[in-house]
Structure 1
Amino acid sequence: MGVDVPLPLGRDDAGRHVIEYVEGVSALDQLPLGHDDLMRVGRLIRQIHDASEKVDLPDSEGWNLLLPAENPDLMCHNDLAPWNLIMGERRVFIDWDAAGPSTRLWDLAYAAQSFGVLFEGQPVEEATLRLRAVVDGYGADEPLRRALPEALGKRAAAMYNLLKSSHGTGFQPWADMHVNGHGEHWRAAAEYVLRNRAAWQRASE
């Protein structure tokens, strides 16, 4: 099955890469998404991962990946989040510049947390239902479901550690993001996910 992505339109007179404009609204402005939309998100992520299996995986050595996965075996988007999903007549993920070798688990963990809104302050039972909808929409098999709760915690912690270390080294834009609210957000998000791991386990069963 193919994947709907913005079409490349070549380069403009200034040499800039031009892509198709996709009409719609950002999923970020629609959060929290309802059950049917979350199921659809899960199916879309599955389509992307299944299609990626047909792409030869390049040597992962030398890739400058911000949050590398252990034992990468699939080309992934690496930022499947509400701010990168356009919702309209088409549902299209944009911003593919971070694509690179990863795994279904690592990619899905980030997407499931962000679309499920598994963040500090969210009622856990509501977040659990949203997480289940994404995972069920994806059609995750039993090994993936068992591994997901732990991966959620690791992925959130990795995001916080990226921001924290970037602040120490001055690596932009993450260094500024760390002190502009993102650092505290992801610190709290990592703690929230770890603290409620039993709920995510129930959602993944």
Structure 2
Amino acid sequence: MTEGEELLAGGNASGRVVRIGDTVRKPWLPTSGRTVEYLQALRAKGIDVPEVHGRDDQGRLVLEHVPGQLAMDLGPLDPDLVRSVGRLLRSIHDASEGLEVPPDWPVLLPATDPDLVCHNDCAAWNLVIDGDRIVFIDWDGAGPSTRLWDLAYATISFGHLFPDADVALAADRVVAFLDGYGADAGLRARLPATLVRRAEAMHDLLLRSHRNGGEPWASMYVAGHGGHWRTTTDFIAANKDTWREACRRTTSPADR
């Protein structure tokens, strides 16, 4: 590591990530050009995403360093904050409408009939909170998807639909997230089954990679991610009726 560089945690899929001053430097990937164009398009529409500062003399992608805490370090978020995250995701999806969806843009977990460019990893480990400012970081996995597929993954994370969760409290977070997003009846009806499929897809990726040696997912499987997504899938499936009921609920305007 060169002088002035601070190694940052994370970067499971994108390689070595460092901070230099108020910037973040990370490897330039084959998809980075399109990712940069997407970030710039979102910023042009008023979405608060990390500012792009081009490439450095080592060819690395240079981005704004967003100060604050990672949501994952705060545990399950309270419903008011979950509702705000839902509003943020909706604003990103709405701003993405009308952008080109290139069919040759590879993504890790493809959605059926992709029609929208999405972050694809909107989760607590990629959300920075700094007072009233909340910003999604780590856009390297962005690419073609659908509202439903992206929404399902975010709901799992911000609903905290994990085996250690209190099911009733998790359902309340699902309600808050969908209300913040402004999910319509169609999305709400399809979401419970999609939650199971989205968790299963993550487990299957890790398992396939473990069997064929595909990195970094093979190492992540052995390190416990495989077991986590297996038990998460089972937990979500076992409580699908609860999520279905949560998707039908909505908080009153006074509670929002």
Residue 93 of structure 2, aligned match among 49, 61, 67: 49
1:98-137 equivalence runs, <5 A: 98-137=141-180
Residue 244 of structure 2, aligned match among 169, 182, 201: 201
Give the structure 1 partner of residue 120 of structure 2. 78
Matched residue of 1:180: which SS?
Answer: helix
Extract unaligned runs of 5+ from structure 2.
Answer: 1-44, 249-256
Deviations 1:47-96 (A, max 9, x none): 000000031222x2x33321100010100000000110110042110111
Deviations 1:169-193 (A, max 9, x none): 1000100111111000000000000
Give the TM-score, by structure 1 length.
0.96
Extract unaligned runs of 5+ from structure 1.
Answer: none
Deviations 1:20-42 (A, max 9, x none): 11111101111210011000000
2-structure distance, mates of 1:121, 1:96: 28
Give the TM-score, by structure 2 length.
0.78
Give the structure 1 partner of residue 232 of structure 2. 189
Matched residue of 1:134: which SS?
Answer: helix
1-structure distance, mates of 2:184, 2:51: 32
2-structure distance, mates of 1:35, 1:193: 19
Residue 65 of structure 1, aligned match among 107, 111, 117: 107
CA RMSD of aligned residues (A): 1.0
2:71 matched to 1:16? Answer: no
Matched residue of 1:101: which SS?
Answer: strand
Residue 217 of structure 2, aligned match among 157, 162, 174: 174
Q: Which amino acid aligns with 1:160?
A: H
Give the structure 2 partner of residue 37 of structure 1. 81
Q: How many residues align?
A: 203
Matched residue of 2:237: which SS?
Answer: helix
Task: Please report how far the alpha carbon of residue 2 of structure 1 lies from its aligned counterpart in structure 2 after TM superposition.
Answer: 2.3
2-structure distance, mates of 1:63, 1:8: 20
Task: Please report how far the alpha carbon of residue 12 of structure 1 lies from its aligned counterpart in structure 2 after TM superposition.
Answer: 1.6
Deviations 1:94-116 (A, max 9, x none): 11111110000000000000111
Asked which structure has the greater RCO (Cα within 8 Å, sep 6+), the reply is: 1
Matched residue of 2:150: which SS?
Answer: helix
Determine if contact 1:2/1:47 at 8 Å carries over to the other structure: no
2-structure distance, mates of 1:31, 1:116: 11
2-structure distance, mates of 1:45, 1:204: 17
Between 86-95 and 99-108, the greater mean CA deviation after superposition: 86-95
Give the structure 2 partner of residue 158 of structure 1. 201
Between Structure 1 and Structure 2, whose CA radius of gyration is higher? Answer: 2
